[in-house]
Amino acid sequence: MDPLHKLDALADILNTIRLSANTYFCSEFASPWGMKIDKGNDGIFHVVVEGSCWLSINNTNRNPIHLNTGDIVAFPTGGAHCISDTLESKMLPGSQVVENILSGNNPFQESLTKEPLTKEPLSIQPTNTGAHHHNILMCGSFHYDSSINHPFLKDLPCFIHIKAEDTPELHWLRSLVSVLASEARLPAPGSTVMVDRLTEVLFIQLMRTHMETSPDRLNYMAALADPQIGLALNHIHAETKFHWTVERLGEAVSLSRTSFTEKFSRLVGMPPKTYLLNWRMQKAKTQLETTNSPMIDIAESAGYSSEAAFSKAFKQFFGTTPGRTRRKNK
């Protein structure tokens, strides 16, 4: 396989957990405005395209966070929060705001002068210059199959805040957000697909940034970023049919069996053999639920040479047979 197209661990995980993302809106809000978002199953993100506002986590005004133009905040696990122009503003339910905007009735736009929009890329430049009478806010969600038992989902951060003023080197991220905001604000042919794909790219970039800056160095994100354990995970995910042993994985990353097992277990949260079995079974289950691939192909991709051996291992792991799993989802 061409190294450029070799599947890495994060890409394989995102495919298997069925990551999907969408941007609800990129809209202008006039003061006063506020949204209350309750805890949910999907991840939520906000981008301050223009202006400044306040964010309160867990729907309380304790330790509010001031957001400026270019700031990005995300709640990958769907945490409750409020976002508003001032801490005193009346809050509307976030679901109601989304529903109203999508039906063409922005509840926070009544006092704005509605000027024709032009198909020009929105320039998102960091600024922290005081209060604004209006904002442009972009909001959306990330969805993944939470039934997948994987440490990536377990270790998703509750909150990510990328400050535009603190990360000037992330100019490419601002460029991505500018294109995304422009497409979401003024749709053109193909915009629906383009916006969804760009929002998925935004999720990946948020995860990359978090992996590089996370203070918690004992979780799956740290494992992906680690030069040795990250490489081992890439081997496991890219070469699923290969008969990996702990010794072979250790050799592949220049570690002894003992050192590799200790470091892998510490970062990933389980021994290498347990992780390998867990991932192969979870991926096989997803293939059974979402594809019509022959059973033997799924068995071989999980590292088994026969359907019988695969079925036995699958039943031991999930408590049901591959055939029943496939029929249940038809």
CA distance 92 to 61: 16
Contacts of 119 (CB under 8 A, 6+ apart): 182, 186, 188
Q: Which two tokens stand for residue 120?
A: 């020009």
Structure confidence by residue, pLDDT tens digits, 293-315: 999 999 998 989 899 999 999 99
pLDDT tens figures, 187-209: 889 999 999 999 999 999 999 88
Domain with CATH 1.10.10.60 in the chain: 226-328
Which residues are within 8 A (CB) of 254 and not within 5 positions of it... i.e. 6 or more apart? Answer: 228
- Composition of the chain by helix, strand, coil, percent to 5: 45, 15, 40
- Cβ partners under 8 Å of residue 172, min gap 6: none
Closest CA to 78 of 40, 108, 46, 48: 40
Q: Which two tokens stand for residue 214?
A: 């996370």
Given a contact cutoff of 8 angstroms between Cβ atoms, the answer to whether 281 and 222 are in contact is no
Q: 257: buried, middle or exposed (CB in 10 Å: 19+, 13-18, 0-12)?
A: middle
**In the chain, where does the domain assigned CATH 2.60.120.280 lie?**
9-213
Cα–Cα dist 54/321, whole Å: 51
Separation between Cα atoms, residue 246 and residue 227, nearest integer Å: 17
Amino acid at 150: H
Q: Are strands 92-93 and 160-162 parallel, antiparallel or unpaired?
A: unpaired
pLDDT digits (tens, 9 = 90+) for 114-163: 554 444 555 555 555 555 568 999 999 999 998 888 999 999 999 999 98
Q: What is the pLDDT of residues 12-49, one digit of tens each?
A: 999 999 999 999 999 999 999 999 999 999 999 999 99
The overall average pLDDT reported for the chain is 87
Total-model pTM: 0.85
- What's the CA gap between 26 and 201, in Å, rounded? 17
CATH number of 9-213: 2.60.120.280
Distance CA 83, CA 101 (A): 16
State in words which class domain 226-328 has.
Answer: mainly alpha
Task: Give the span between the Cα atoms of 25 and 96, in whole angstroms.
Answer: 13
Q: Is the pLDDT score of 59 beyond 50?
A: yes
